[in-house]
Chain A
C-alpha cells in the first residue's frame, strides 16, 4: 500500500500539549512539512515565542531557541546573520508578536532580515487565560473585556499584515486561515513560499495564520472554526499583502 498521508519526520513524537481542537497543531505540521519538502531539515533553526507555543522547541525536530517575550525576530536576526546558510524561522502568537513584540517585528521587517515569521493570530491571550489582546475583535468578550472590547477606550485591532506591508523591505506577506481543508492546503502553499523566499535570499517573509482558541473563546472546536470564518475573516481579510517578486515582474 502506498502512504497517502503520514506525520512528517520534522515533528518529534512528543504529544502536543495544546487543548483539543486547537489549530496550533495544524500550523506546526504545515511549517514542519514545508521545511522538510524544501530539503531544509538539516539546516533549519526555529525560534520559539512566549505564549501557548512556548514548548514549540519540544515539537520541531530541528535546532530551536527560546526567545524572551516578543523578541523572537531579534533573536532570529542574530542567528541568521551568523549562520547565513541556515533556514531561520520564528513561530509567534498574537500576544507575543502583536503586543510586546511589536517593535521587534516592525524593525526586523523594515531591515528586510532574511528570516521567515509564522504569526499565529487567534485574537486572544491563550496561555495566560484568555485576556484581551491587541488583535481582539471589537465587541469580543474576553476575561478582561467581559462586556466585549470597547473601542472607545481600547481602540481597534492591529492588522499586522496590513501594517508590515506598508514597509518597503519585506519580500512576502500573506494572511491565511486553517478553518477548513481547502484553507489548510492554501496555508501550506503560503508557508512554503515564505520559506522559499528566504532560501532564495529574497529577504523578510511573514505568514499570518488565523487560528482558533476553543478553550478561551468558550466554544467547542467545531463552533470555534465557524466563529473564525464568520467573525475573524471579515475583519482580517485573507490574501497576499506583499509580494516583491510580483511587484518587480509588473514593472
Chain B
C-alpha cells in the first residue's frame, strides 16, 4: 500500500510529475486553485500507486512525499 502526500500550496502545476508517472495516476486538479494561483496536482487512484517515486524525482519543487 503506497501513500503520496502533496504539499499542495507550493505546487506550481507544471505537470512534470503527471508526465513521469508510469501508471498515469496523477492529474492537475482543475477544481482547486492554491494560494499561488495554480491547479495543484492530485492522485486519481491511490490504491494503484506502486510508490516508484518517479513523480517525486521529477518534481522541481519537492511537493511530493512517497511512503510505502
Give A residues with C-beta under 8 Å from B: 1-8, 11, 15-16, 18-26, 29, 180-181, 184-185, 214, 220-222, 225
Contact = CB atoms under 8 A, between A and B. Distances in A.
Contacts of B56: 5
Given A21-B60, A25-B62, A5 B53 contact: yes
Contacts of A214: 14
Interface of B: 1-3, 10, 12-16, 19-20, 38, 51, 53-54, 56-62, 64-68
A55 to B, nearest CB: 14
Contacts, number: 74
A25 B68 contact: no
6 cross-chain pairs, A with B, having the tightest CB-CB distances, nearest first: A25-B60, A21-B14, A20-B12, A7-B62, A20-B14, A5-B53
Nearest to B2: A4
Given A1-B3, A21-B14, A6 B58 contact: no
Nearest to A15: B10
Contacts of B13: 20
B66 A26 contact: no
Given A4-B53, A5-B64, A7-B65, 6 more contacts: A3-B66, A5-B65, A25-B61, A184-B57, A185-B57, A214-B14
B66 to A, nearest CB: 4
Contacts of B19: 222, 225
Contacts of A220: 15
Residue among B12, B13, B38 with most chain A CB within 10 A: B12
